[in-house]
Each structure stands twice: as C-alpha cells, then as structure tokens.
Amino acid sequence: MREVGVLEAKTNLSALLDAVETDGEEIVITRHGHPVARLTRAVGAGGQQRRLSGTELVTRFKAHQDRIRRENPEIMEVSTSDVLAMREP
C-alpha cells in the first residue's frame, strides 16, 4: 500500500485514481505523516466488488509480505497465515 502526502495527492489526483482503477492499488493519504484517508477501488453496481485475477491477488499478497517484512524485521519468513492474521479489518 503506497502512502502519499496530502499535497502530492492534490497535485497528482488523476494519476492516483488511475492507479487505483487500473491496478487495484490502495493508496493512503497522510497529513503531517499520519494516515488520514485511503483511496480504494469503489464497489461496483449492485454492491458487488470486482473479482481480482490471480495475478492481482499474487501482486497484492507480495506487497503485504513486503510491508510486513519492513515493519517487522525480526520476521524471517512470512506465511499466508501471517498475512491474514495481520490484515486490516
């Protein structure tokens, strides 16, 4: 999950929306280094979210693994159950 400051978000909003729409990326907007909001893909018509492809799932899983490794350098291996246990509600 990428983090951008409010000024960068304001300046590059169209590009950020493109990343969310086309790549399924989630972007956290921060103010003074603190998370304030998150850009995510909107729920589609009928209240159903688009199903992710296998490639998108693997990409997101690897991004979560990388984040967990950065935030917890003492962890040598990150399993699927580790990622699921640390996910946001």
| Residue 8 pLDDT > 50 | yes
> Could you tell me the residue ranges of all domains in the chain?
1-42, 51-89
Say which residues have a Cβ less than 8 Å from residue 27's Cβ, sequence separation at least 6.
Answer: 1, 2, 3, 4, 9, 16, 19, 20, 38, 39
β-sheet bridge partners, residue 38? 28
At residue 70, does pLDDT exceed 90? no
Which DSSP string do the residues of 3-20 spell out, in sequence order?
EEEHHHHHHTHHHHHHHH
pLDDT of res. 21: 83
CATH node for 1-42: 3.40.1620.10
What confidence tens digit (pLDDT) does each residue in 25-44 have?
A: 899 999 999 999 999 888 66
Cα(75)–Cα(59) distance, integer angstroms: 20
Task: Say how many residues make up the chain.
Answer: 89
What mean pLDDT is predicted for residues 3-8?
Answer: 92
Higher pLDDT among residues 53 and 86, named by residue = 53
- Does residue 74 have a pLDDT over 80? no
